[in-house]
């Protein structure tokens, strides 16, 4: 479940408010991914679809995961 946003533009997209700073096609994909993130119960829920490219980050980002939105 998404609890907060670090970036105001991401929060706008999640609230379905159009961002003037990001291309429309990226916003559409980002919203789909944000809905997936919000619905995920377990981290492994994000392995589907494989295009998410779920990966655990390393170094000072250890314990953090990433998915891709523009592949």
Tell me the per-residue pLDDT of 2-40, one tens digit each, with 9 for 90 and over. 999 999 999 999 999 999 999 999 999 999 999 999 999
- The backbone torsions φ and ψ at residue 10, rounded to the nearest 5 degrees and listed phi first, read -65, -40
CA distances from 66 to 12, 16, 42, 58, 69 (A): 20, 22, 14, 11, 10
As a whole number of angstroms, the distance between CA 66 and CA 49 comes to 14
What is the C-alpha separation between 42 and 24, in angstroms, rounded? 29
- Residue 70 confidence (pLDDT) above 90: no
* pLDDT of res. 1: 86
pTM: 0.86
Q: How many residues does the chain have?
A: 71
pLDDT exceeds 70 at position 71: no
27 CB neighbour count, 10 Å cutoff: 20
């Amino acid at each position: 479940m998404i609890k907060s946003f670090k970036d105001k533009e991401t929060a706008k997209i999640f609230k379905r408010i159009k961002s003037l700073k990001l291309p429309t096609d990226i916003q559409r994909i980002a919203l789909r991914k944000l809905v997936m993130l919000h619905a995920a119960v377990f981290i492994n829920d994000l392995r589907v679809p494989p295009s998410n490219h779920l990966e655990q980050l390393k170094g000072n980002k250890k314990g953090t995961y990433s998915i891709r939105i523009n592949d």
